Structure 1
Amino acid sequence: MAFPPHFLEEIKARVGLSDLVGRRTKLTKKGREYSGLCPFHNEKSPSFTVNEEKGFYHCFGCGAHGDHVEFVKQTEGVSFPEAIERLADLAGLQMPAQDPHEKQQQQKSATLHEVMDLAAKWFSAQLSSQAGTAARAYLERRKVSDQAVSQFGIGFAPSARTALKEALLARGVTENLMMEAGLIIQPDDGRPSYDRFRDRLMFPIGDRQGRVIAFGGRALGDAPAKYLNSPDTPLFHKGHILYNMASARRKAFDAGNVIVAEGYMDVIALAEAGFEQAVAPLGTAVTEDQLRILWKMAPEPIMCLDGDAAGWRAAQRASERALPLLMPGKSLRFALLPEGVDPDDLIKSEGPRAMADILNKALPLSELLWKKELEGHAVKTPEQKAAFERSLMSLCDQMEDQTVRDYYIKHFKDRLWRWSREQSFQQKGSYSAGKKPERFGRFANQKNKFGKNQVAETPIAKSTKMGRREELLLITVVNHPEILESYFDEFAAIQLFSADLDRLHNAIIEIATSESDLDYDRMKHHLTKRSLFSVVEKFSKDTSGSLDWFAEKEAALEDATQGWLHLVARYERVKLEQDLKVAQKNLEQDVTRENLDRLKLAQKALQEAEGNEADLDGFGVASGRNTGF
């Protein structure tokens, strides 16, 4: 059977070619392509490449070449329909039912594309005509360049009731085709049909190949609706398409990100300022299908929203829509503009650099969710705080991916604990006049000296024997509390299974959040008050002649810090190695795309952690030692 083109395009949009090929051979990303050993012939050095952007693979050794369908046919020995069926299953799509009029429908789709192309060219010509004077003046006021007008195919629909209809009739297009393309409207009372778009600036909307499938029109005069989009047609379903999608998809590969603006003019302004990877939904909140399209372009699309109440609501709706779809490595970020400002305004008034600063400071999804829930809750009483925590946990319940959900629960619980402590100290007025408030907040904002290699937020499994290393992670900090001034977040993220060590760890965090200028004597005093210094003595040993000497209070702070950072890096490595084993086991038991993604992320994290232990050059010199670590 023949398959509708839009169905084949949807399969390719949902199933990444590199993911598909990666099920058969290990691929490594190099620039804009992936490379690996060819799955079609035996070779020792890679000659096989996958171009995700262009949608094909090629082997320079044996000449194998093709797309998604060809790869399944060749590797699984199936026919074309069977290959489509297997790809549809991977994409989560139902196979289209056989239709005796299918060929006729495909021919009609091809004809509709021709009609839309004719309409786009006619609108473009009208912008240059005498009738388009006011439209050109509007574009000039908005500082839209001639290059942008040409690049985005901007046109003009005259105010005459049937101008487009008559122009297309003269070119042999029937009223039925115009109706099916959404270009004209047929009144129910039998009156003659008329143009849908009149006295509007016209923005062609393209599909994944860039073919015009719909239009958006901005009113230039008085109109009930400022913006008007084409209705759903055989070519166009607004929840499945993004404005500027075809062009932005190519640019996103180069930029490493994709920007989601609110409207046509924002996308055009961003593109003119150098941000050509910008797209926009079509008058609605971002849909699930649009999110999947965005994640094909970049792992964390940036939602660039107007700085007003409507922009904040749009951010909230996008965050809620994304929750069930989150996967490891797939999320959203939110660039919230100043109040009353949109991207076009900001770029025109302050330039591209100001826009880049906003994008670079985009909030992660977790931060936006926290702000969203905090905004809607009073949090003074224990009951109100409990309600706030429940609302955060209810967000986690909506996340279908177990790994993502677990990390979010841990993140929110950690943040709730820190936030509650901060609130408690503020309410009690426990700070002296000369002491800075919000001590914990100061620690939290310290520059992270680990970069990407922070201590993992999930505990290492009980079966992992950290032994002396766990004890030293705490003993070093007890003897040298100054370490916390720079590395509090790394220390707080450590998870311990020994009950004694865990109590000691929590106590040190509590002391550090409420006390400043800590040294050994003050730390000992506070731990003794909590009857916990005996735990320190229990785990402290005479290590003057061993490799643990840096943990002693006599060691120089510089050496203690270096030794402690080395332990933290090794702690992280153990956790990453465990994550990799779990991911490998999950993939062996259940070969799914999600499990494959988890394995890739675990492998990447472990590779990035290679060689990240603390630099131990000169270690011990500050303490008067020449011993290596």
Structure 2
Amino acid sequence: MALSPQWLDELRARLTLSSVVMRTTKLQRAGREWKACCPFHDEKSPSFTVSDEKGFYHCFGCGAHGDVIRWMTDQRGLSFMDAVKELASEAGLEVPAADPRAAQAAEQRAGLHDVLQAAQDFYRASLSTPAGAKARDYLASRRFDAHTMERFGFGYAPAARQALKAALAQFDEAMMIEAGLRIAVDDKEPYDRFRDRLTMPIHDARGRVIGFAARILDADKKDAPKYINSPDTLVFDKGRTLFNLHRAGPASRKSGRLVVVEGQMDVVAMAAAGFEDAVAPMGTALTERQLEMLWRLVDAPILCLDGDNAGQRAAMRAIGRALPMLAPGKTLSIVRLPTGLDPDDLIKQSGPAAMDALLAEPGSLLDTLWEFEKASSPLHTPEDKAGLKARLIEHCEAIQHPDIRSLYRRDLLEKFSAFAFPPRPPRERREWKSGFAKPASPPLSPESAGRLRKANGVNRDALASAVVAGLLRFPDQILAHAELLGQFASQDGRVGPALESLIEAAELLEPGAETPISVPQGFAPPPDNSRFTFLDEGADPRAAREDLAEAVALLVERPALEAALAAATARFATDPEAAFAEQQRLLKRKLAFEKRLGLMASRRAALAAQTDSDSPSAPSGATDEDSE
């Protein structure tokens, strides 16, 4: 549906921005504008302003900015069209239909909303009848207060197969079937989908009823599913719906979090205990669309899943969906409940404070991935451990963002190396008396030293030489990057032998050893070591190792970039237009590559400046003789 700029301007002109913002945010007059503490980030003094004259809001703290439509999408979590429709209804404007078919579909959806709301009214009324006693007893057993039951709209679907049809006689049979309320099978008479069940309405982001979840009440019906949801319809799509999002979205703006639990009843239990920012998928694993909806509201939604095996499998399915979509600042956090407990069990046993404590310290996606894969199968043999490593790398390769993929790969392989090559028991320490020399740092074998000298003699590339020298200085990093180094070594005939020698030597060292490997005689330092922090003796070891990891990543990335540039250039003769576009894209990547390399020099210069400023200087006016 295309909306003209003129129509959108008319919509904005008919609404007062402050009145819309004021529904969820307390505003105070400030001259001709309004001010408040920003709803998009935590702050103690107000930096958020709303101007009705200018028609926009702006936060001088976090930079949040937009008009009334942007407010509805960012603060309420609505899609653009849902925001426009809700505002248009308030402003008395009719949203233009793109074509007659779209208008007919919109009219049909509106009719479905009407019949679904009528069904909700009927189910709510049925809960108070004698037939609804079982549903009321179940709610009493869950100890939900009256406010919770009212908010979530619990109802009861009578056992009779034609009860809803009789109650909603004003609606066509076809419409009730289309709404998922009735089932038609072959030539048989249609019948009610929900019978003798506790019902809960499912709402869209605008708070309209779009379907139902229904729980069985007769424990003897063991062959019947415990919960059933409405089928997908024109207004209800399981993969694009999160239960309770219309309430949890605004609540998440205040709490700064969004909690994803397994089922609708878990959401109700959380809300009854004061956790208003909980949502649930519709009986399936989180979909890509649902993840996008969550990330529009918070950067790190918290998966709070049951502590049993099913809960862990659900977490891994969600992680598998999330990995390709990870972006800077967008991730998942994971809370694992105690084994055998769901949110309601934990709250009843230990109180809301126990749940609050778990939500305050969730685990990271990376750590959860590592722990799950490590525990997923026995790890007794080298083959078992190699399988673990392969699974970890496979997860990393699923990540589309190149920087996030590299960082995950590095961190997971570091965890694997620490697990697969644990430190050996310390040997008996011997006291070294004066007059006796301490043992030298571990030497290379004659063959490895020879290959290292040969590769160094023919290769004067600053980056490659610096990486080799850095790995000699920090041998504990060799196996941490063995996968990347091995791939590069197999494709590079100059420095490849040197890297293979280092990998072989590292496998013979004590695991975790940090003593530098002895530099073989004849090995020359890099021609330019001023730009590499990890070659500076005064650098912080942790920072030096991080810079070395970045240098390794750059070394491996460079050949692929150069090969792609060469291939694009070669295509000019046959496809100049496409080749030029590809070359420009690759040149941008090369500039970014050079920038990353330049940052290492900047850090080195900053370290040198800091060292100079920290060193004591001679008094003003002192001569060389005075200082001596």
TM-score, normalised by the number of residues in structure 2: 0.60
Give deviations 1:129-175, integer Å, cap 9, x for gaps. Answer: 33322222211211111111111222221223322221111xx2221
Counterpart in 2 of 1:209?
A: 206
Q: Does 1:531 align with 2:529?
A: no
Shift of 1:375: 2.9
Shift of 1:368: 2.2
Counterpart in 1 of 2:171?
A: 173
1:432/1:235 Cα in 2 relative to 1: closer, same or farther (>3 Å)? same
Counterpart in 1 of 2:529?
A: none
Shift of 1:241: 0.5
Which whole-Å CA distance do the structure 2 matches of 1:230 and 1:385 have between them? Answer: 45
* Contact 1:256 1:298 survives alignment (8 Å): yes
Which whole-Å CA distance do the structure 2 matches of 1:532 and 1:626 have between them? Answer: 34
Counterpart in 2 of 1:198?
A: 195
Which whole-Å CA distance do the structure 2 matches of 1:570 and 1:372 have between them? Answer: 26
The 5-angstrom pairing of residues 371-386 of structure 1 reads 371-386=371-386
Residue 430 of structure 1 aligns with an amino acid whose one-letter code is P
Residue 70 of structure 2 aligns with an amino acid whose one-letter code is G
The secondary structure found in structure 2 opposite 1:190 is: coil
The secondary structure found in structure 2 opposite 1:101 is: helix
The secondary structure found in structure 1 opposite 2:322 is: helix
Counterpart in 2 of 1:356?
A: 356
1:225/1:321 Cα in 2 relative to 1: closer, same or farther (>3 Å)? same
Residue 425 of structure 2 aligns with an amino acid whose one-letter code is S
Residue 292 of structure 1 aligns with an amino acid whose one-letter code is E
Residue 194 of structure 1 aligns with an amino acid whose one-letter code is Y
Give deviations 1:200-233, integer Å, cap 9, x for gaps. Answer: 1111101121111000001111440110111111
* Contact 2:201 2:213 survives alignment (8 Å): yes
Shift of 1:286: 1.3
Q: Does 1:402 align with 2:410?
A: no
Give deviations 1:102-122, integer Å, cap 9, x for gaps. Answer: 322211111111111111122
Counterpart in 2 of 1:264?
A: 264
* Contact 2:305 2:342 survives alignment (8 Å): yes
Which whole-Å CA distance do the structure 1 matches of 2:199 and 2:546 have between them? Answer: 59
Residue 244 of structure 1 aligns with an amino acid whose one-letter code is N
Q: 1:430 aligns with which of 419, 425, 433?
A: 425
Counterpart in 2 of 1:133?
A: 133
The 5-angstrom pairing of residues 22-421 of structure 1 reads 31-32=39-40, 50-51=65-66, 55-56=70-71, 100-169=100-169, 172-191=170-189, 193-222=190-219, 223=221, 224-421=224-421
* Contact 2:126 2:157 survives alignment (8 Å): yes
* Contact 1:183 1:197 survives alignment (8 Å): yes
Shift of 1:319: 1.6
1:503/1:367 Cα in 2 relative to 1: closer, same or farther (>3 Å)? farther
* Contact 1:335 1:362 survives alignment (8 Å): yes
Which whole-Å CA distance do the structure 1 matches of 2:67 and 2:372 have between them? Answer: 36
Which whole-Å CA distance do the structure 1 matches of 2:238 and 2:130 have between them? Answer: 32
Give deviations 1:413-437, integer Å, cap 9, x for gaps. Answer: 2222222221xx3xxx524699xxx
Greater C-alpha Rg? 2
The secondary structure found in structure 2 opposite 1:117 is: helix
Gaps of 5+ in 1: 9-28, 59-66, 73-83, 85-95, 435-461, 479-487, 516-522, 540-547, 553-559
Residue 207 of structure 1 aligns with an amino acid whose one-letter code is D
1:472/1:285 Cα in 2 relative to 1: closer, same or farther (>3 Å)? closer
Residue 55 of structure 1 aligns with an amino acid whose one-letter code is R
Shift of 1:333: 2.0
* Contact 2:307 2:340 survives alignment (8 Å): yes
State the percentage of identical aligned residues: 36
Residue 395 of structure 2 aligns with an amino acid whose one-letter code is L
1:264/1:567 Cα in 2 relative to 1: closer, same or farther (>3 Å)? closer
Which whole-Å CA distance do the structure 1 matches of 2:212 and 2:72 have between them? Answer: 34
1:137/1:178 Cα in 2 relative to 1: closer, same or farther (>3 Å)? same
Residue 117 of structure 2 aligns with an amino acid whose one-letter code is D
* Contact 1:305 1:312 survives alignment (8 Å): yes
Equivalent residue pairs, number: 465
Give deviations 1:273-295, integer Å, cap 9, x for gaps. Answer: 23211111111111121122122
* Contact 2:39 2:253 survives alignment (8 Å): no
1:508/1:185 Cα in 2 relative to 1: closer, same or farther (>3 Å)? closer
1:121/1:507 Cα in 2 relative to 1: closer, same or farther (>3 Å)? farther
* Contact 1:473 1:568 survives alignment (8 Å): no
Residue 116 of structure 2 aligns with an amino acid whose one-letter code is M
The secondary structure found in structure 2 opposite 1:285 is: coil
1:376/1:49 Cα in 2 relative to 1: closer, same or farther (>3 Å)? closer
The secondary structure found in structure 2 opposite 1:281 is: coil
* Contact 1:474 1:505 survives alignment (8 Å): no
1:122/1:626 Cα in 2 relative to 1: closer, same or farther (>3 Å)? farther
1:472/1:162 Cα in 2 relative to 1: closer, same or farther (>3 Å)? closer
Gaps of 5+ in 2: 9-36, 42-46, 74-78, 85-95, 430-459, 489-494, 527-532, 555-560, 562-580, 620-628
